[in-house]
């Protein structure tokens, strides 16, 4: 069975979140990111969890190992299902993140993944601004390898790199892919985008979908359309 699409709850506050969630009868896999978490704090995670939804807490930690370790210890206590860091923080930082999660978990440890190159980054930007003298795919594969060596569960990448990561790091190493759009949909600030069906055919383990659902006129219909394409029905 396909993993549920992860729906990005990129809303300014609690009210908008519950307004959105109230449209759905089924349990969702949702993502709480910086916009929501910085406004509402850890309480919003507890409230969404109490409703029975699975949670990806996307705070993209990137700091010195000790700080990341302590922060992760605290986040683990929230009982979320998936959390992330930036692979650019380095192997030691990623190992520290894992240690923190293990120390803070009550019961099952949340899965830990690392962002490789953001889906809003182009190869040209990466080479010019980050001064990385590689192709974008090479950089993503390098970060994926480093993430695997640090013992994490997978990476965030675009659909366009997912297959090669599975070949290099193994099928069990997760490829979580944002930048998902329905055919003809506005890409907004995303650069490496793909449709849910392309993601299914190209090695994504999970898709992350925000505006294609949350900004749709009918959010339930948009969600169902994403599910239908993702599941290949």
> 27, 52 in Cβ contact below 8 A?
yes
Choose the catalytic residue: 60, 73, 91, 163: 60
Q: Is 81 annotated as catalytic?
A: no
Name which of residues 108 to 137 contact ligand OMP (CB under 6 A).
Answer: 115, 118-119
Query: Is 60 tagged catalytic?
Result: yes
The answer to whether 178 contacts ligand OMP (rule: CB under 6 A) is yes
List the x/- string, 132-171, binding to ligand OMP by CB under 6 A.
------------------------x---------------
128 labelled binding-site residue: no
> Distance of CA 203 to CAs 177, 193, 221, Å?
10, 14, 25
The least CB distance from residue 188 to ligand OMP, in Å, is 6
Q: Which residues contact 195 (CB under 8 A, 6 or more apart)?
A: 180, 181, 182, 183, 229
Beta strands of the chain (E only): which ranges? 6-8, 29-32, 54-61, 82-86, 111-115, 154-156, 174-177, 206-209
Residue 63 annotated among the catalytic residues of the structure: yes
Pairing relationship of beta strands 54-61 and 6-8 according to DSSP bridges: unpaired
In terms of DSSP bridges, do strands 206-209 and 174-177 run parallel, antiparallel, or are they unpaired? Answer: parallel
- In the complex, the smallest distance separating the C-beta of residue 226 from ligand OMP, rounded to whole angstroms, is 10
Q: Interface residues for ligand OMP in 61-90 (CB under 6 A)?
A: 84
For residue 194, the 8-state DSSP code is B
60 is in an annotated binding site: yes
Residues engaged in binding ligand OMP (CB under 6 A): 8, 10, 33, 58, 60, 84, 115, 118-119, 156, 178-180, 188, 190, 208-212
Residues forming the active site: 58, 60, 63
């Amino acid at each position: 069975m396909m993993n549920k699409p992860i729906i990005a709850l990129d809303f300014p506050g609690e009210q908008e979140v519950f307004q959105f969630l109230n449209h759905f009868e089924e349990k969702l896999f949702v993502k709480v990111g910086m916009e929501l978490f910085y406004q509402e704090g850890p309480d919003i995670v507890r409230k969404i969890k109490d409703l029975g939804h699975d949670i990806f807490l996307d705070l993209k930690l990137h700091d010195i190992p000790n700080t990341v370790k302590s922060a992760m210890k605290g986040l683990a206590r929230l009982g979320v299902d998936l959390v992330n860091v930036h692979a650019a923080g380095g192997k030691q930082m990623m190992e520290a993140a894992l240690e923190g999660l293990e120390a803070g978990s009550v019961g099952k440890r949340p899965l830990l993944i690392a962002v490789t190159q953001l889906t809003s980054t182009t190869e040209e930007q990466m080479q010019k601004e980050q001064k990385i003298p590689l192709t974008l795919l090479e950089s993503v594969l390098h970060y994926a390898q480093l993430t695997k060596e640090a013992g994490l569960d997978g990476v965030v990448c675009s659909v366009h790199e997912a297959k090669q990561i599975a070949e290099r790091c193994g099928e069990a190493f997760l490829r979580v892919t944002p930048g998902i759009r329905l055919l003809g949909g506005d890409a907004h600030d995303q650069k490496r985008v793909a449709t849910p069906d392309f993601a299914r055919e190209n090695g994504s383990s999970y898709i992350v979908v925000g505006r294609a659902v949350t900004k749709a006129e009918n959010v339930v219909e948009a969600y169902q359309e994403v599910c239908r394409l993702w599941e290949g029905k």
